[in-house]
Amino acid sequence: MFEFHLEATQGLARAGRLTLPHGTVATPAFMPVGTHGVVRGLSAGDVARTGAQIILGNTYHLHLRPGEAVVRQMGGLHRFTTWSGPMLTDSGGFQVFSLEGLRRIDEDGVEFQSHVDGTYRRLSPERAMEIQWALGADIAMAFDHVVPGQAPQDLACEGMERTLRWLDRCRARHAALTEGRKGGRTEGGSDGGADVPALDVETLATGNAATAESGPASHVPSVRPSVLPSPRQTLWPIIQGGTHDDLRRRSLDGTLERGPWAGIAIGGLSVGEPKPVMHRILETLAPELPRETPRYLMGVGFPSDLLEGIARGVDLFDCVAATRNGRHGTAWLPTGRINVRGAALKGSTEPLDPECDCEACTTYPRGYLRHLFVVEDMLGLRLVSLHNVRFLVRLGELARAHILDGTFDAWSREWLRRYHARGT
C-alpha cells in the first residue's frame, strides 16, 4: 500500500507511481496546499477537477482550528474536508519556526504562541506525530528543526543534527501509535503499547491549552483509534542542512541509517537562497537518494521550479503560490504570468489561457475574469486560483508524459524558453 514504482527515468527526471491508502499518485506531481483543510477558496470538487491527486494540510493551522480532536471526532481529515484522495500533513515545524519572536526552542521541542488567540502551546516530535495521527493523514511528516535560509554552517548544523535526533523520537512515537492501533502490542521494544491508549479524543483535547477552538469539549465522545478506519499512515523524514552540501549529505546519511522510509522530503529550500544554490543542493542529493523512494521537495512550486526540480529527480511538490497568486489576480500562462486586472484584458472574449482545459479557461472570456477582479467578486479569486492549480497539475502531467516518451529534456528547455521569453 505504500509502494513507489519507478516507471521511467531520463537523466535524473523520473516518472513513478506512489500508492497510498486513499489512492495512487502518478508522479511527478504538484500537491495543492489546503492550509486549514481547504485549498483556499476551492471546494474538494473544484480541486479534484484540476486533476490534483493529493493535497497537503497544515498541522499547525489544523491544531489551532478546529483542533485535531474535532477533526478526529468528525472521522478524520478526509471526511472533514470531503477530499477522498490521499492527504499529506506537514509536521508544523516550518510554521512554528516561522513565528519569529513568538516561539522558544529547546531539545524537547518548541513552545509557541498561537497567532489566533495568543495562548502558549508546545509542539514536540511526539506531539507532532500524535496530532497528525489524530488528523488521519496518509503521509505524516517528521517534526524538523528549520533554520533560516542561508543560515551559517554552525546554525544549519545544529538544526540538521536536532532534526535527526527528533526523527528518532518521531519514529518511536509513530511506531507506538501504529502498534497501538493493532491492539496495543509492541514490536522491537518500542514503548508504544503502554502509551497509546492515552490517544483518545478527550486526552488530545485537554492536552492543549484550553481555547474556544480546541479546548476540552465535554460533549465530544471519547473515540479510540480502533473505531476509526485505519489510516495506514506512513512517516516521511525531512533532509535539512541549509545551503551546505556537506551538511545535506550528513543529513541524508543519518536519515538513511534510520530507514527504510516510504518517502523522503527535502526541506529548508526556496527560503531565500538563490535558485542556482537550490539546484546545486538537489544535484548533490539526487544520486544519493534511494532510487525507489519518492522525493518530495517541500514548499517549492512556481512553474519553472517544478521543471527544474523534476529535471533533478524530484517527484512531489507543494506551494501556496498557485492559490495566493490566484487571489491576487496573477495567472500563469505558457507565455509567462499576467495580471488579470490588466487593461489589456478589458472586453476580451478570448480565454485566459487558450491551451488550458480548466473551468476558468473553458467557460469564461478573459474580459469577464478581469471584470470580476475590478468589481472585487470572490468568483474571480476562485477561478484564477483554479486555473493556477490546474496549470501546475498539468505541467506535472506533461512532464510525466515527456519523461515516459524520452523527450523531457528538450521539451522542458523549450517550455522554459517560452515561459521566460517575455522576461517574467
Which residues does the annotation mark as catalytic? 90, 318
Each residue 307-346 as x (binds its own copies by CB under 8 A) or -, in order, gives ------------------------------------x--x
CA distance 81 to 83: 5
Verify binding: residue 347, its own copies, rule CB under 8 A.
yes
Q: Using CB under 8 A, count the residues that bind its own copies.
A: 45
Closest CB 103 distance from its own copies, rounded Å: 21
Phi, psi for residue 117 in degrees, rounded to 5: -130, 5
Closest CB 357 distance from its own copies, rounded Å: 15
β-partners of residue 336 are: 333
Q: Evaluate whether 337 touches 358 at the Cβ level (below 8 Å).
A: no
CA distance 379 to 103: 37
State which of residues 13, 29, 44, 247 lies at the interface with its own copies (CB under 8 A).
44
Q: Evaluate whether 33 touches 317 at the Cβ level (below 8 Å).
A: no
Verify binding: residue 212, its own copies, rule CB under 8 A.
yes
Closest CB 73 distance from its own copies, rounded Å: 5
Verify binding: residue 349, its own copies, rule CB under 8 A.
yes
Q: Binding segment for its own copies among 90-98, 156-164, 301-309, 376-384 (CB under 8 A)? A: 376-384
Verify binding: residue 228, its own copies, rule CB under 8 A.
no
Verify binding: residue 367, its own copies, rule CB under 8 A.
yes
Each residue 2-41 as x (binds its own copies by CB under 8 A) or -, in order, gives ----------------------------------xxx-xx
Q: Binding segment for its own copies among 88-96, 148-156, 265-273, 360-368 (CB under 8 A)? A: 360-368
Closest CB 334 distance from its own copies, rounded Å: 23
Grid cell of 372 as nine digits: 470580476
Nearer Cβ to its own copies, position 231 or 241?
Answer: 231
Nearer Cβ to its own copies, position 303 or 380?
Answer: 380
Closest CB 100 distance from its own copies, rounded Å: 22
Each residue 53-82 as x (binds its own copies by CB under 8 A) or -, in order, gives --------x---xx---x--xxx---xxxx
State which of residues 381, 384, 392, 395 lies at the interface with its own copies (CB under 8 A).
381
Q: Binding segment for its own copies among 15-23, 94-102, 266-274, 374-382 (CB under 8 A)? A: 374-382
What per-residue string of b and e applies to 276-297 under the rule 16 or more CB within 10 Å gives b? Answer: ebbbbbbebbbeebeeebbbbb
CA distance 259 to 175: 13
The residues that touch its own copies, with contacts defined as CB under 8 A, are 36-38, 40-45, 61, 65-66, 70, 73-75, 79-82, 212-213, 217, 219-220, 343, 346-347, 349, 359, 363-365, 367-368, 371-372, 374-375, 377-379, 381-383
